[in-house]
Amino acid sequence: MQFNDRVLDEANSKGVPLLERLKFLGISASNLDEFFMIRFPSVLREESSDPQIRDQILEAVLSFHSRQERCHRSLKKQLQEEGIEIVTDKKQIETLGAEIFESEIAAHLDVAGESLDHFLSKFENHRVGFIFSNGLSYKLPPNLDSFYLRRIEKNFYIFILDDLVEVFLQKLHPHLGKPIRFRMTRDADVRVDIDSEDPEAIPDIVKKRVRSRDEGKWTRCLIRADPQVNPDTLLQKIKVPPSQCFFLNHSLLLKACFEAACKVSGELSSESPLVYPPVRSYLPKELSKPSQIFSSLLKRDYLLHHPYDSFEAVVNFVRAAVDDPNVLSIQQTVYRVDALSEVTNLLKKAASQKKVSVYIEPRARFDELNNIQLAEDLRRAGVKVVFPFGEWKIHAKLILVERKDPGGKRERFTHLSTGNYNSKTARLYTDFGVLTARPQVGEDAALFFDSIRKGEVPTQLSHLLVAPTQLHKRLQLLIAQETREARSGKDARIVVKVNALVDRKIIQSLYAASQAGVKLDLIVRGACSLVPGIPELSENIRVISIVDRYLEHSRIYYFQSSNQLYLSSADWMPRNFFSRLEIAYPILDERIFRYITQDVIPCYLADNQKARRLHEDGKWRPVKDSKSQDHRAQFVFEKFSQSEYRNTQLANSISF
């Protein structure tokens, strides 16, 4: 919830272009949806949890809704001044939205043909419903767009679905007054263990469990109703505690603001002050031509920092493997991919010429059905599809290409990443990837894939750290080593960048390191259970969070005394350490090592525009540094890439 507060801060930030602020408002609503589907139910299920914690959460949500409403009202007014109107006025909807309703919506509305009890008992997760005073009920089908856009000359009119439908339902039933509008959230945290020995049965197992999301307990109800309308009948029948029902004065589909803002942005000039200018992603010339990639990788490693560096480099790496007749095999993990992935299309093409294996996670939350469909498509093309096993999800991100050079020598080329093979999110998330031909990395990657194919947990890797077998133990040892160095009077430092830090044992080790004198800088985007700045416990720990244009998604682990630097797919959470197949990979290239430790890490820590600092009272506050020049990390990284890294440590070419 505190992270979502920081997201909403961006929606209120005057320094952020107006349509970008509307996107952040939509993101805050989507985040809250997921919170009540996944995080909050875990609190309700925890028998030992303190009811006060639940009550504090709900009080925070109530306060958050008030902030959202004020933000929505302010943005609506400011956008209207720019010729972009979120239409909520009844007469305006009737005039401008009639054609949309008749042609796009009317034929698809679901009217309840059964009792209200039955209607509500079968109500799906996150559907929007309408109930009139006489019990007549409607619900919005899932195939409708959440918003509709009309452009009249230079003006844009945004109609959010539930606002639009309510007006025309009232026209259809003029004597019934205004309906109660509501949207329900269910516990959607379904668990799918793949313990079947029959790979063919896995898709059906996953599909069955995913369908149960519409059978989970209700965790929240959003309600929009006039003050004179009594919602008691609804509240009694849905049996949601009153504290988990929230009355709103705006659309119940506020998440539509994100896509609506994207749609309007796409119709504006790239020079419009209402949007961020498009990022000009850098593509190193050695990676721009697939035919040159393998020879370039044999000389040195390449670091990719998305979205500042183009995802096309990854696509070209796969294209090089597909087109090269000397390539024997391609292996890749898949957690989340975009619907029209160029990478998967290339793999399908390659399957008729060489051995192609894709290791797909069918339990990636909310992408289960997409991944099962992808698996079926790949199999039809001749790709060998491997599903994981037991409780462990494949969350590691890597591609391994095996090749024989013209002289018969075996070569391995590896791409390892902190983020998904998804060209869409590669433009929205910050992630690191490394391309390398180092034999020791390629050998470990091959062992990783071999183990999964055999249904075994990878062990005994020499360079890559794998969860659930190695990663947690190794991190504890690295923290302990920094602690010993500090106790002996030497300089010791740990820098960690993750999305979440909630593992209890790791946190205890970090506290011990702080007490020994280790200097710790933690860049934690979201949840952080460690409290910094407490005398004699965590006074040597600084925690910041950066929320900006791009979602910070990369993970960095740096241990100064041991001179160890890793990039990883894993956050510091029990699920990443013990319930997922994760990889942390060492930075072995001196040039990349220096760039991350001397350019990237200092750049993040110097941010005084979008960084918030966690204080000993558990509150996040903006970093105040009036003595220094304005420094915004994401803007600096963009300048690095646009200058082709000439003024950074990457400029000094080192080969191996």
| Cβ contact 388:394 at 8 Å | yes
pTM for this structure? 0.95
Residue 395 annotated to the active site: yes
197 burial type by CB count under 10 A (0-12 exposed, 13-18 middle, 19+ buried): exposed
Q: What domains can you pick out in the chain, each with its CATH number?
A: 2-202+216-267 (1.20.58.310), 285-459 (3.30.870.10), 466-645 (3.30.870.10)
> Could you tell me the two tokens for 628?
């220094």
Place of tokens 């890294």: 645
pLDDT for 206: 85
pLDDT confidence bin for 460, thresholds 50/70/90: confident
Catalytic residue selected from 250, 305, 395, 631: 395
User: Rounded to whole angstroms, how far apart are CA atoms 210 and 205?
Assistant: 9
Does pLDDT of 182 surpass 90? yes
pLDDT confidence bin for 386, thresholds 50/70/90: very high
Mean of the per-residue pLDDT values of the chain:
93
pLDDT for 652: 62
Q: Which of 36, 28, 22 is nearest to 6 (CA)?
A: 28
Peptide linkage before 468 cis (omega within 30 of 0): yes
User: Rounded to whole angstroms, how far apart are CA atoms 402 and 355?
Assistant: 10
How many C-alpha atoms does 173 have within 13 Å on its Cβ side? Answer: 17
Does pLDDT of 196 surpass 60? no
CA 203 to chain centre: 24
pLDDT for 569: 97
Residues in the chain: 656
Does pLDDT of 235 surpass 80? no
Q: Where would I find the beta strands (DSSP E) of 499-595?
A: 519-524, 541-546, 551-552, 555-559, 564-568, 580-586
Backbone angles phi, psi at 216, to 5 degrees: -65, 165
Place of tokens 């003029």: 174
Does pLDDT of 539 surpass 50? yes
> pLDDT tens for residues 2-55?
999 999 999 999 999 999 999 999 999 999 999 999 999 988 887 666 788 999
**Mean pLDDT value of segment 380-392:** 90
Residue 595 vs residues 299, 492, 650: alpha-carbon distances, Å: 18, 20, 6
pLDDT for 581: 96
| Cβ contact 566:557 at 8 Å | yes
User: Rounded to whole angstroms, how far apart are CA atoms 613 and 629?
Assistant: 18
> Could you tell me the two tokens for 189?
């945290």
